[in-house]
Amino acid sequence: MQRRMARVAIRRGDHRSPGRAEGDAAAQAERRAVRFWLLTALFASIFLQRFGVPFGEFGIGANLFVTLLALAAIGARGGLVLDPLRAALVLVFLACAWFSVALNAGSASAPSAALVMLVYAPYALSLRDPDGVFEDCIAAFQAMVMVCAVAGIVQFIAQYAVDPALIFTFHGLLPEPILLKGWVNMQPMQWGGSTYKANGFFLNEASTFSQYLALAIVIEVLFFRRLPWLATFGTAILLSYSGTGLMLLVLLLPWVLLARRSYKVLAGLFAFGVVAVALGDLWNMQALVGRAAEFGQTGTSATARYSAGGWLVSAYLMAWPPDLLFGLGPGSFLDTARLQSFEAHDAAIWKLLFEYGLVGSIAFWLMFAVVLFDRVRARWVAAALMVGFLTFGGMMLDTRLQVLILLFCALTKLPEARAAAPGLVRAAGAR
């Protein structure tokens, strides 16, 4: 049998030994299996994000279980390793979480702390063989978001011809128990209006649509620079009429373009912006521009997301030093917010401080910074995810964004030897 394999290898111009060829074939099969499971988790985080299982008030995203299944399958094949530094930082943060639970038996939620464990424990893991995985995941993400972008453009146009309820929401079409609660699938551009913001059909709401499009635009500029793709993403993000994705682009994209000296792309985006402003009346630009005026206005989405959490921290934590140090426990933020006369969303920075205090917050941000930036393959992608985590709102337990952090940062870390090699130029990291 070995002689026959040797003859076949020679005829193919492969002078490796049969044993070496068998080993290479096994390695390739292993890599394909790893990619299959990771791309399955990515697919679920995008196309199945409206689905979940009942838990608490809103439910748990079904994609969390797909992610855990994917990691278990890869781990069973020996494809995962434990990163000592990140494992230690994760354990410190989780210890702070459970200490806060014990300290706040009346207000803390043990199930919420358990969910935190499920979401953040995978941050301690890396792939045993990460070569090529980051690039595959980035390409797959772009393709999946392109499907949503085209769907969103078609969706926005089609609402004038068909019942919007058929193309904006799954409620009434699928069993309610499997649909996540707390999301507004149909959002009119203006209060009481009959024209709705595009949500990409598969995504939870228009804000989520704009967030994924903003990440896709940053990635496109970094790695591919395909003008038709950029134009499609840009058109779709305008039709989302949401400010969260645009905020990421405003904060990050100019620096990316300048750092890479992508002056042609910068000029192209500027031209796109000029055309968009010139045709503003055709796509109701004022509905989007009006979102910028929401900051500081009580009762607006921007104030609820970015400012109101600070009011809660000031009102409930400042009077008693132990509360400021250790927080009021996991799950306490939303319970407290419901008692207020104003609306307050659980932005990550305020939720962390309110529930885990200064000690837990410091432990979290140290862990999070190491996960995102230590030996990362693309620092600008990591920066985009950091900005998104801070600005998108409600990201602390967002199981969709966690998948992107795992695939683009945590799991695909460069090995220590390669990261420390003198003169190493990383194609992805340099972009």
pTM for the model stands at 0.84
More confident position, 181 or 152: 152
Q: Does residue 119 sit in helix, strand or coil?
A: helix
**Range of lowest pLDDT (189-198, 235-244, 249-258):** 189-198
Give the count of alpha carbons within 13 A of 112, CB side only. Answer: 24
Name the percent of the chain lying above pLDDT 90: 51
- Token representation of residue 185: 């699938």
Positive/negative CA dihedral, 46, 48, 51, 55: negative
**Range of lowest pLDDT (331-340, 391-400, 418-427):** 418-427
Split at pLDDT 50, 70, 90, the class of 395 is confident
Mean pLDDT of 185-200: 85
- Contact in structure between 280 and 286 (CB atoms under 8 Å): yes
Split at pLDDT 50, 70, 90, the class of 423 is very low
- Token representation of residue 224: 């591919």
Sequence-separated (6 or more) residues with CB below 8 Å from residue 385: 215, 372, 401, 404, 405, 408, 409
Split at pLDDT 50, 70, 90, the class of 285 is low
Residues facing residue 60 across a β-bridge: 53
**Residues listed for the chain:** 431
Distances (CA, A) of 78 to 32, 136, 403, 409: 14, 20, 20, 20
Burial class (CB in 10 A: 0-12, 13-18, 19+), 371: buried
Phi, psi of 188 (to 5 degrees): -65, 150
Q: State the average pLDDT for the chain.
A: 84
pLDDT per position as a tens digit, 61-94: 899 999 999 999 999 999 999 999 999 999 999 9
- Give the helix, strand, coil percentages of the chain, each rounded to 5: 65, 5, 30
Question: Highest-confidence range of 101-110, 128-137, 328-337, by mean pLDDT?
Answer: 128-137
CA angle 240, 246, 251 (to 5 degrees): 170
Taking Cα atoms as reference points, which of 150, 146, 167, 149 lies closest to residue 158? 167
Taking Cα atoms as reference points, which of 44, 32, 35, 105 lies closest to residue 326? 105
pLDDT at 364: 97
- Token representation of residue 110: 């043990």
Distances (CA, A) of 349 to 313, 322, 325, 356: 11, 19, 15, 11
Q: Does residue 137 sit in helix, strand or coil?
A: helix
Q: Does residue 17 sit in helix, strand or coil?
A: coil
Q: Which residue, chain included where needed, has tokens 């070995």?
A: 2
Mean pLDDT of 230-257: 90
Phi, psi of 121 (to 5 degrees): -60, -40
Sequence-separated (6 or more) residues with CB below 8 Å from residue 314: none
DSSP state letters, 380-410: HHHHHHHHHHHHSSS-TT-HHHHHHHIIIII
Mean pLDDT of 309-318: 87
Q: Which helix (H) or strand (E) segment is 230 a member of?
A: helix 227-240
Split at pLDDT 50, 70, 90, the class of 261 is confident
pLDDT per position as a tens digit, 7-55: 444 344 444 555 555 557 777 888 899 999 999 999 999 999 999 888 7
Taking the C-alpha atoms of residue 229 and residue 239, their distance in angstroms, rounded to an integer, is 16
pLDDT at 23: 59
pLDDT at 259: 85
pLDDT at 430: 42
Burial class (CB in 10 A: 0-12, 13-18, 19+), 186: middle
**Range of lowest pLDDT (71-80, 139-148, 234-243, 417-426):** 417-426
Split at pLDDT 50, 70, 90, the class of 320 is confident
pLDDT at 182: 76
Residue 300 in this model has a pLDDT that exceeds 70:
no
pLDDT at 81: 95
Mean pLDDT of 254-278: 78
pLDDT per position as a tens digit, 361-377: 999 999 999 999 999 99
Distances (CA, A) of 395 to 101, 345, 392, 399: 21, 11, 7, 8
